[in-house]
Structure 1
Amino acid sequence: MEDTKTLTFPLDPQSEKFITLALFTNVKNTAEIRDKLLSGELRCCLLKPALIIDPFQVAVAANKAVCAEMFGDLVTKSVFTETLYNLSITKSISKALNLFGSVDNDTDIMVGLIHKDGAQEAGMKSILELIQGEQVPVSRLGDFSDLEKIQKIYKINETELQVSTLVDSIATRISVKDFVSF
């Protein structure tokens, strides 16, 4: 039975991969987690929940990342950094990673684990054992989202929101990033 505090999305069927998301607050050791991430000991992505309006936003970026990995077209070094890169509308890797990736003093983090079917439990276990903070249900993501900042980053105005939802507008921007300049 899946833990209700995590949320798993299937990604492109050919990739045979999934993304599982977990949300944490009051994290005391983000710097240590980032060190393990940068050293390769930990294989996931750490996201700033303030910039995520809906888990679907991350699933779209992760799906694009696993497709790029399948075709040998990664812009960054891993499917995890590619997910962060895909969340941004900028084509600057460093700007995207700095904007959407967690920093040492963040106390709220979202973890994205990309895995094959059946590998979620082991991957999440190592992450859960490391994080010194409170895991909260992903359904609470809206409590952490900064709507004003999200709209500014994605350049979404009120007129656009009269004909589309914020999540749909963001998903569209992520999907067409390679073809359109915002």
Structure 2
Amino acid sequence: MDSKLETISFPHLPASLPIHVALFRNVQNSAFLRQQLLAGNADFEYAMIDASLVFSRAHAMAAVFRAMNDYLNSRLKSHNVHSEIVLSFNPTNNIAESFRKLGISDSTKDLLIIKVSVSPDITHDSVATHLASSVEGVPMSFDDSTLSEIHDINKIKKLYKLGALPSPAVKADPSQPMLGAAKDRLESSLIGAIALRGS
């Protein structure tokens, strides 16, 4: 299976805590993956997010950075850094709502999976191998072009209560990332909502 897993280090966070990010489309076994999470299976300790609610790479990285910052400063509101990432995507502090609206459901088809190297045995290769054997889906590149094919602008605006903002225009060429002031304004609003969420 072709692994498109990306390993990212944030400049302002310890280099010993890289983040591994994978994006899958047409996932066939979401119910199984969700069950492993609910059962507390340590092998499946990931942040699993419905990718239709991820507007852009910057949007996702803002949520991850917020969760990592809270993790490093012992301010977690949920039980680990991975559940905190899911919570960080939510503009409110309601943990149950975060998982219901943003987390994986039995019918999720497009899935963003994030794993933090909270121990030295969590490496790019170990995560890539585990996901390749566990996720029945098509690995995709984690970039704005792919996310623009997946995200549901109306769902995102409803979640973040941004109904008054104009929607970015539908692109003539789906392979080109969205351009324009509407995209920038929506992205800025989403990142602002994550940064300003009640602490």
Alignment TM class, shorter chain as reference: 0.7 to 0.9
Please report how far the alpha carbon of residue 8 of structure 1 lies from its aligned counterpart in structure 2 after TM superposition: 3.5
Contact in 2 for aligned 1:9/1:59 (Cα 8 Å)? no
Match for 2:34: what amino acid?
A: R
Q: Which residue of 2 aligns with 1:133?
A: 137
**TM-score normalised by length of structure 2:** 0.78
Q: Which residue of 2 aligns with 1:63?
A: 65
Contact in 2 for aligned 1:24/1:108 (Cα 8 Å)? yes
Q: C-alpha separation between the residues in 1 aligned to 2:186 and 2:6?
A: 20
Return the match for 2:186 from 145, 166, 176. 166
Contact in 2 for aligned 1:49/1:109 (Cα 8 Å)? yes
Runs of at least 5 residues in structure 2 that lack an aligned partner in the other structure: 168-180
Q: Which residue of 1 aligns with 2:174?
A: none
Q: How many residues align?
A: 177
Alignment pair present for 1:22 and 2:22: yes
Runs of at least 5 residues in structure 1 that lack an aligned partner in the other structure: none
Aligned-residue RMSD, C-alpha: 2.5
Contact in 1 for aligned 2:5/2:128 (Cα 8 Å)? no
Query: Residues 36 and 121 (structure 1 numbering): CA distance in 2 closer, same or farther, change over 3 Å?
Result: same
Matches within 5 A, 1:34-49: 34-38=34-38, 39=40, 40-49=42-51
Please report how far the alpha carbon of residue 9 of structure 1 lies from its aligned counterpart in structure 2 after TM superposition: 3.0
Please report how far the alpha carbon of residue 15 of structure 1 lies from its aligned counterpart in structure 2 after TM superposition: 6.7
Equivalent position SS for 2:82: helix
Q: C-alpha separation between the residues in 2 aligned to 1:137 and 1:163?
A: 20
Please report how far the alpha carbon of residue 4 of structure 1 lies from its aligned counterpart in structure 2 after TM superposition: 7.9
Q: Which residue of 2 aligns with 1:144?
A: 150
Contact in 2 for aligned 1:23/1:111 (Cα 8 Å)? yes
Greater Cα offset, 36-45 or 95-104? 36-45
Percent of paired sites with the same residue:
20
Q: C-alpha separation between the residues in 1 aligned to 2:124 and 2:8?
A: 11
Match for 1:131: what amino acid?
A: V
Greater Cα offset, 41-50 or 7-16? 7-16
Contact in 2 for aligned 1:46/1:102 (Cα 8 Å)? yes
Please report how far the alpha carbon of residue 36 of structure 1 lies from its aligned counterpart in structure 2 after TM superposition: 2.2
